[in-house]
Amino acid sequence: MKFDNQQNTMHIKPQIRILAIDDSPLIHEKVTLIGAYFRGGEQLDGILRSEIKKDGMDATDVFIRMINSSKFHAQIRVVLLDGVTYAGFNPVDINSLFKETGVPVISFMRSCPDLEKIKIALMNLPDAEKRWEIIQRAGKIYKIKQDKPVFFQFFGLDKESAVKIIQLTSTHSNIPEPLRVAHLIATGVVLGESTGKA
């Protein structure tokens, strides 16, 4: 694999500070991003809001700015993403995200993405090759074998730490609580009432 993950073993406290980022439904050209800043899997301690373009190429830069300009930046030990494409096919380069923020990244997925389907869908968009390259940079997809299996990619931390963080924070479902909450807020704020897995 060309883009090796760094093997930083982490000490993971139950109250580890996490920023989870999710996006709103695609009803406008500008898509709202919500960052939910959590202590472990229990307590919401802050909210960030930003926006990116539907099928744009600005996600990586906006995510970096969101994190680096936040008063929580120094406390955030890991960023939790909902996959590596937001607002349609606006890809997040998790390598750059780690390098530019200093914060390790976990991309979490409830199901294993069909990369061939994604590759074909990208062909209808400008910069298809660049998008595909960024998506591939997220590296190998790992599976956590459990009652309802989940999947993840990571950069800037070791695999065992990523698994521990996902398991520690999945307090109310098989979805890490910070991501579940970011999803509820992102849908609720844009639609007037939240949707999806609660």
Distances, alpha carbon 98 to alpha carbons 55, 104, 120, 127, 147, in Å = 22, 5, 28, 23, 31
Instruction: Identify which of residues 47 and 120 has a Cβ nearer to a copy of itself in the complex.
Output: 47
Q: Closest approach of Cβ 117 to a copy of itself, in Å?
A: 31
Cα-based angle 23, 107, 93 (whole degrees, multiple of 5) = 80
Q: Closest approach of Cβ 186 to a copy of itself, in Å?
A: 9
Instruction: Identify which of residues 80 and 135 has a Cβ nearer to a copy of itself in the complex.
Output: 80
3-state secondary structure of 10: coil
Q: What is the Cα Rg of the chain in Å?
A: 16
Q: Closest approach of Cβ 13 to a copy of itself, in Å?
A: 17
Instruction: Identify which of residues 78 and 182 has a Cβ nearer to a copy of itself in the complex.
Output: 182
Distance between CA atoms of residues 22 and 35, nearest Å: 7
Give the footprint of a copy of itself on this chain (CB under 8 A). 34, 42-50, 70-71, 172, 181, 184-185, 187-194, 198
Q: Closest approach of Cβ 176 to a copy of itself, in Å?
A: 14
Whether the CB-CB separation of 77 and 17 falls below 8 Å is answered with yes
Distance between CA atoms of residues 23 and 16, nearest Å: 23
Instruction: Identify which of residues 80 and 134 has a Cβ nearer to a copy of itself in the complex.
Output: 80
Instruction: Identify which of residues 129 and 193 has a Cβ nearer to a copy of itself in the complex.
Output: 193
Q: Closest approach of Cβ 108 to a copy of itself, in Å?
A: 18
Query: What tokens were used for 142?
Result: 């790992």
